[in-house]
Amino acid sequence: MADAELLIKEVSSYLKPQDVEHVRVAIEFSRVAHQGQTRHSGDPYVTHPIAVALILTPLHLDVQSIIAALLHDVVEDTEISSEQIAEKFGLPVAELVDGLSKLEKIHFETREDAQAENFRKMLLAMARDVRVILIKLADRLHNMRTLGSMRPEQCERIARETMEIYAPIANRLGLNDIYQELQDLSFKHLHPNRYAVLAKALKVARGNRREVVSKILDSIIQQLAKKHIHAEVTGREKNIYSIYKKMQIKSLAFSEVLDIYGFRVLVDDVDACYVALGILHALYKPIPGKFKDYIAIPKSNGYQSLHTTLFGPFSTPIEIQIRTREMHKIADAGVASHWLYKSGHSSINELHKKTHQWLQELLESLNESSNSAEFMEHLKVDLFPDAVYVFTPKGKILSLPRGATAVDFAYSVHTDIGNRCIAVKINHELVPLRTELRNGDRVEIITAPHAKPNPAWLSYVTTNKARSHIRHFFKTMQSDESAQLGERLLNQALQALGIKPSEIRESCWDKLLRDTGVKTRQEMLADIGLGRRLNMVVARQLACSGESISIENIANPVITIQGTEGMAVQFATCCRPIPGDPIIGVIKSGQGLVVHTHDCASLRKGHNSNNGQWLDVVWDKNITRTFAVSLKLLVANQRGVLAKVAAAIAEAESNIENVSFANEGEYTALHFTLEVNNRQHLAGRMRSMRMIPEVIRIFRVQNTG
């Protein structure tokens, strides 16, 4: 096994002799465990874990990581257990292997559910130990290198997952070489023809431009040396996928993409970076708007560098990166620089803190996801690579995804700031909360103590942190309000059974929760309020008397509607009930109590389908809130009639929520949605509108379906 010997040679260059022996033992253990197994290509299976371990050696990962890479498929694909690995190689190795193993023994309804759960498990393990994702990325990289032996549909699925998830994770962790190779390999399998054409064109261009590149390189080296700047200057070539993306975004042909070559300048310290920048700007003219300072404002993955684009000879654009050698270490190895350079440098330590914080925030929001689709949406949004950099009023820099709004900013500062924000000042000017942020904006959030999130925010926030916290707020609020409604329903059901709610013993509640598998009393009450459980059934279970009570013979209790129940009580939009209307309620699972008018056509359809629990409800005598009601007016086709009607409504102290109109022959139909207090208030508004000469007919619109 030539690869095994190569692995031993590589790890011998940085591991202790006793650790190298442990690696030898692990290679043999993996070979025996995978005996008789082959890959799709026909190669012995053990070649894969050895190749994965080899990918990790340039990062100088420790002996535990190398052994875990060699054993990462042992638990999943052989009879070897995690306990056996822990016994032979130690608990840390077993935990790394467990974090890498898929959930094969659990049945999932769909591939998406399985994929989401596997990612969730991997991220949990990654938050405990970042080495998990480093090994996983090496595993995915070798799989992508050998993907050609699989069926086309499998190739496409794996390549797409790599492009959408694994490559962005590598980028987020600062593993630049792995990131670019994963992108290129994914592109190769997703668009093989485009990849082949570009690869061939790049090879030709490399030969044609060799002389120009050499001339530019020499002039940069000479100019820096003349100014006594000690620097290493190297040429670099863009990866195929980044060239393809540039062609796609800017609608360019390959021949128009002139900056496929760039140059990297490594200097001794930060001051030398800016001095070198000035020297190069004097040598070649800079292209306006093409300068970026990632030293003053680092990228979220810790990357620091100065980027500039210059007009070179023959009008060739030259992309140049200027950075210190320490910055270059982080740019190359990212979070793995901890193992590669054990210097304890502050930049490396800061990068690890940021990575850990990012993982914790990601897990916090992902744990609040209600399904696999929402989970994957959060994950992909969070890995979106482009960023804008904005300032707090105190001058702190925050990095947010491109397209982020003021609401995203508020939640990135603190969850409470997001939940209580009511307005925003950007660069000292009041602007809407949905305003997209731009690089360099100074953002100040204005809050109010009793403010709360608006559901409309979900339509324009871009960060997964903002989206998950808004959703969590409404889920929590709905749960609290549903619990309050559930308690009212349960108390009235108990009273109908002749039992005072205060007489229910704690032991009865404990028995009910134990029998139903519900964790808390609050959760049980919320289930009643949301219609997931019948109040009468729960009341009978709580009675603890052992007597048989027939639910059919007990009259439904009457629920009083106060109009302030929040999300637990909804007013049906089909009939728009208002105080004074005869009403009836239906509790539907997951929706809570929905109030309809007694004669609602939609309600009758629902009654026939026996869908939901029906309740008698009445209006509270003291309701102060307003309700929406729909009106239709037939008016004569005359100029100014809409203004007259609107003025009459305003004089009657009613708000107009919405207005529309349509021609109906010789008349015009005006449709209004007004806010009214009750039926009497509505009747007064309708009387004032009937007094307008142009109004032919007016009536309330109900039962819209």
> Which two three-digit tokens encode residue 482?
């549903």
Instruction: Tell me which residues are annotated as active site.
Output: 76-77
Report the alpha-carbon distance of residue 541 to residue 309 in Å, rounded.
75
**What does the alpha-carbon distance between residue 172 and residue 464 come to, in Å, rounded to a whole number?**
15
Here the tokens at position 534 are 């019948």
Q: Are 360 and 127 in contact (CB under 8 A)?
A: yes
Q: Burial, 265: exposed, middle or buried (Cβ in 10 Å; 0-12, 13-18, 19+)?
A: buried
Distance CA(587)–CA(528), nearest Å, equals: 9
In a 10 Å sphere around its CB, with 0-12 CB exposed, 13-18 middle and 19+ buried, how is residue 596 labelled? buried
Q: Indicate the SS3 state at residue 500.
A: coil
As beta bridge partners, residue 691 has none
What string of DSSP letters covers 516-542? HT---HHHHHHHHHTTSS-HHHHHHHH
With 0-12 CB in 10 A as exposed, 13-18 as middle and 19+ as buried, what is 473?
middle
Q: How remote is the C-alpha of 335 from its chain's centroid?
A: 22
What phi-psi label fits residue 428: left (phi over 0), alpha (psi between -120 and 50 degrees) or beta? left
Token pair for 667: 């008349």
What b/e readout covers 654-689, taking b as 16+ CB neighbours within 10 angstroms? beeeeeeeeeeeebbebebbbbbbeeebbeebbeeb
- Contact 176/332 with Cβ under 8 angstroms? yes
Q: Using CA atoms, how far apart are residues 1 and 46, in angstroms rounded to an integer?
A: 10
